[in-house]
Amino acid sequence: MSSASPPFPPSGSFLKSIRESSQLLCEKSNVRVTEVAIKRLLFSQAFAISFKRVSAFHGLAFPLKFASTLAELNLLSVLSLLNFASGYRIQLHTETGRGAWDNIRLLIFSLFLTSSTGGEGDLLSARGMQDIQEQKVAELMRVSLHVERPHESIPGVTVGEIGGPMHELVKLITGTLNETGLILVGAGYPDLGSFVLEALQEGEKAKSKDKIGADVDVILEQLVRAIPAFRDMSVVDGQPIYCFKKALFLIHAVLIRFGSMSPPPFPIPDTSQVPVFTDNVLPSLLIHLGVIDLSSASHGLEYKFPDAGSLDKLSSLLAEASPCTDTDNAPKAIPPEGPTLTVNQSYILRAAAIHACELIVDVARSPDIELPENLEWIRDITLPLLDMWLWSVAKDRPDYRQLERFALKNTVFF
């Protein structure tokens, strides 16, 4: 990961800093997003036909029985904390048959179920997170920490040794749990959910009719200042960039899981205008769909997606999805390997996704845009719904599943 780290944004300006730093980094890196490209997406069959259905997918329905809503909030918080591993997507598919998100969900469910049966303590508690070891994480993820290599002196014989991408990922996960647990124990919190609840309560006090998202700003700041694994920020060529993907995801997840309860068990943040939760999927898909233009980009990014954005490809990708066939329901093939990026390159593209999505919503709501009656709903799209559509449609269509996504290993931010 990058060694450069900017100062925290000023209090009350965390959301503003995400938007402003993303726009500035895009401009500095010559990444272009045009209104023509945005309209092409908004008026496409691919968008119009699938948006309402696909944007409802969120992957936050848990088939688990919780002792309390606070226990569910804690599980949701740890899931958000560990919502990374995208750089190991191909290796995870090879070893487990599942992608990064599904593997992290399985790990969280396993931590919960192991804790519920007793005997090993509560692995989702602050102390359980502080003490968990790599071997236990690997066991619950059902991955091997060993790789095989040829014996130095005996032909045809292989030997196993600790190492490889799964060991690297397990170290990242274990280190994140240990570090966060240590902080929580030192501050006197029994678990991460209790800390998040306190942040939600502080955010509720800051709600304002005059400033939408004032509560989110307070919650976001508390999460980012306290927990290093939420400090998703860097400096690229002297320009600070703030993304805070996992913290924003957690705040919105609280709304999804608890916002429909009456009365809600916790203060529910207003996430209607929060920036998107930028990872590797959103920018990669927006590049393939012709919204993010890298043709003049700096840092070598103009060469990373050489086949994206051509009119032939766009005509297919923006058309209505082809009907599923029997082969579409067959076991999923291992997805293609996408370009491996540097930390700086990945921050530029993630900033581009944040900025592009802001512009997409702006264009959709513009009174200058004439929409047919059956598409008037486009004016009501929100950034979180747009995020969910991009993330989910990347899995929804077989042709989208085969689109390359960039990868960055050794990061705990996405």
Residues 72, 65: Cα–Cα separation, whole Å:
9
Distances (CA, A) of 269 to 29, 367, 397: 33, 28, 32
What pLDDT, in 10s, does the model give residues 348-362?
999 999 999 999 999
In angstroms, the CA 292 to CA 37 distance is 8
Instruction: Please compute, for residue 203, the number of CA atoms within 13 A of its CA located in the half-sphere on the CB side.
Output: 26
**Please, which residues bridge with residue 235 across strands?**
240
351 token code pair: 């900033």
Average pLDDT, the chain: 93
pLDDT of res. 309: 81
Tell me the pLDDT band of 148, cut-offs 50, 70 and 90.
confident
pLDDT of residue 161: 78
CB–CB of 318/40 below 8 Å?
yes
Percentage of residues of the chain with pLDDT beyond 90: 81
pLDDT one-digit tens code per residue, 290-326: 999 999 999 999 999 998 988 889 999 999 987 655 4
Which band of pLDDT confidence, cut at 50, 70 and 90, is reported for residue 332? low
pLDDT tens digits, one per residue of 358-379: 999 999 999 998 888 889 999 9
Confidence grade of residue 118 (pLDDT, cut at 50, 70, 90): low
**Sorting pLDDT into bands at 50, 70 and 90, what band is 329?**
low
d(CA 353, CA 383): 11
Per the listing, tokens 């899995």 go with 395
- Cα(99)–Cα(407) distance, rounded to whole angstroms? 13
Band of the pLDDT at 1, cuts 50, 70, 90? Answer: very low
| pLDDT in the model for residue 117 | 67
Mean pLDDT in residue range 269-282: 96
Indicate the range of 104-108, 117-121, 167-171 predicted with least confidence: 117-121
CB 363 within 8 A of CB 379: no
**Whole-model pTM?**
0.93
| Mean per-residue pLDDT, 338-346 | 97
**Across residues 49-54, what is the average pLDDT?**
94
C-alpha span between 201 and 46 (Å, rounded) = 40
**Looking at the chain, how many residues does it have?**
414
